[in-house]
Amino acid sequence: MAASIAIDLGTSRTRIFVPKKGVIVDEPSVVAIEPKTREIIAVGDEAHEMLGRTSKRRQVVFPLLGGMICDYYLIENMVRVFLKRARRAKLIMPKAVICIPGEVTDVQKMAAINAIEAAGVRRVHVIEAHIAAAIGSGVEVKNPHGSMIVNIGAGTTDIAVISLNGLVSSNSVRMAGDNMDEEIIKYMKREHKLAIGKKTAETIKIEIGSVLPQVKKLVFRSKGRDSITGMPKWVDVHSEDISKILYKIADKIITKISNMLELTAPELVGDILEDGVFLSGGCAQLSGFNELIGERTGLKVSLVEDPIYCVARGTGYAISYMKCASRSKNFGIIDPLSME
């Protein structure tokens, strides 16, 4: 069965969406390789299991950093494997829409298109992340009423103000979940002399993380390597300490949201005051995030339904607009808001 697909090429996870079927592939954006030959050993879930457990003969690599492709060879091969897994649903996929951050250059957009085409897709179009997040959130974009959507992912935070089927303003900030993981790693080494990997840092964030102090104090027993002796070591990590770390990153994200509000027309700010901010993305589910944004901005903050798949849904929605987008103009970028 022939079907066009949508690819949410995220820093942390890649998702493939098919109309009427939903998300049929949802795996980590990670590849395990042999360093000398760059031979692909594993992709996705299989590679993620190797994270922090490889020998010198194997290396686990994230080919995207801050929402940007940093290794096109690995992206091409990673997507090729994911497409093979998607084809288990007996789909022929001649066309695709991919989602990328809105702040990338034309050269980067073209390189992303070329990488996906090389992976086996005949025709590729692009939708920018903040537009995909706006559409996927289910916010009514046709009305002459301003709406603000904030999508907090792993590599980037995408902020957009929408009104009358148009993108009034937008910004993609390279400050999100991955930065929180990095700060946790630094904290563990600085305060506990414990070396941990990205996978453990992410687990700490998910298990006891909050951007606001919690009433119930939580403890996570983390294992790693003593950075002084090099021996195995266990450390009990407390939620109040992790909260202070996550707050610093959240504070920077909220500052970007506040800056956009300051540049938004007063009438639209009034609309946003009435409807609030719509929050999506995996990191948006972090405990206390919506409360902190509301506290700092004075706005009502609502977590959209199924926030993890918000961008994938919005990218999938753009499939029906591929015929309207000219490949020869503007790198095949699709903006369903302007095509309504």
pLDDT tens for residues 229-287? 999 999 999 999 999 999 999 999 999 999 999 988 888 889 898 888 999 999 999 99
pLDDT at 95: 84
Mean pLDDT of 77-101: 81
Residue 21 above 80 pLDDT?
yes
- Choose among 202, 211, 203: nearest CA to 182: 202
Per-residue DSSP letter, 54: -
Higher-scoring residue by pLDDT: 301, 334: 301
How many Cβ atoms from other residues are within 10 Å of residue 215's Cβ?
4
Q: What is the pLDDT of residues 107-138, one digit of tens each?
A: 878 888 888 888 888 888 888 888 888 888 88
Q: What is the pLDDT of residue 219?
A: 95
Q: What angle do CA 80, 81, 83 make, to 5 degrees?
A: 65
> Is 50 a residue whose pLDDT tops 50?
yes
Q: Which residue has the higher pLDDT, 65 or 15?
A: 15
pLDDT beyond 70 at 89: no
Least confident stretch, 46-60, 80-94, 147-161:
80-94
**Structural domains present in the chain:** 5-131+311-339 (3.30.420.40), 141-304 (3.30.420.40)
Q: Is 197 left (phi over 0), alpha (psi -120 to 50) or beta?
A: beta
pLDDT at 162: 86
pLDDT > 70 in the chain, percent: 91
Residue 89 to residue 85: CA distance in whole angstroms: 8
Average pLDDT over residues 202-207: 95
Global pTM value: 0.86
pLDDT at 67: 73
For residue 56, the tally of other CB atoms under 10 A from its CB is: 7
Q: Which of 4-8, 165-169, 206-210, 291-295 has the lowest mean pLDDT?
A: 165-169
- Per-residue pLDDT at 214 exceeds 90: no
Mean pLDDT of the chain: 87
Question: What's the pLDDT score for residue 92?
Answer: 65
Separation CA 24–CA 83 (nearest Å): 10
